[in-house]
């Protein structure tokens, strides 16, 4: 796919975005999350790296929600209170 059409250019940009996320330093430390951000979300490279770096430092650990509990199958899940 080496065309010069608008579609070919868009494909190249999308492949480069995915490659930049997955091969970033933060992406190499957390490949599963990097792949999810690269292939299953529309976030930019900069936004993905912010999320990846934040997860590496545990900055998102406070995001315990009912949805997360439901995803784990806990019907009586209650979010942890932050002190």
3-class SS string, 26-61: HHHHCHHHHHHHHHHCCCCHHHHHHHHHHHHCCCCC
**Mean pLDDT for the chain overall:** 78
Give the whole-number percent of the chain exceeding pLDDT 70. Answer: 64
The reported pLDDT for the residue numbered 22 is 95
Angle subtended at Cα 39 by Cα 34 and Cα 42, rounded to the nearest 5 degrees: 100
Closest residue by Cα to residue 47 from 34, 59, 61: 34
The reported pLDDT for the residue numbered 27 is 94
Each residue of 25-59: pLDDT tens digit?
999 999 999 999 999 999 999 999 999 988 766 66
* Collapsed DSSP state (helix, strand, coil) of residue 65: coil
Instruction: Reply yes or no on whether the pLDDT at 3 is more than 90.
Output: no
């Amino acid at each position: 796919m080496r065309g010069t059409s608008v579609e070919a250019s868009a494909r190249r940009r999308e492949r480069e975005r995915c490659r930049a996320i997955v091969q970033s330093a933060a992406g190499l430390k957390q490949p599963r999350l990097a792949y999810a951000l690269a292939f299953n979300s529309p976030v930019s490279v900069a936004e993905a790296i912010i999320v990846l770096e934040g997860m590496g430092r545990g900055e998102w650990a406070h995001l315990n929600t009912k949805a997360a509990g439901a995803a784990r199958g806990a019907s009586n899940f209650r979010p942890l209170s932050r002190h």
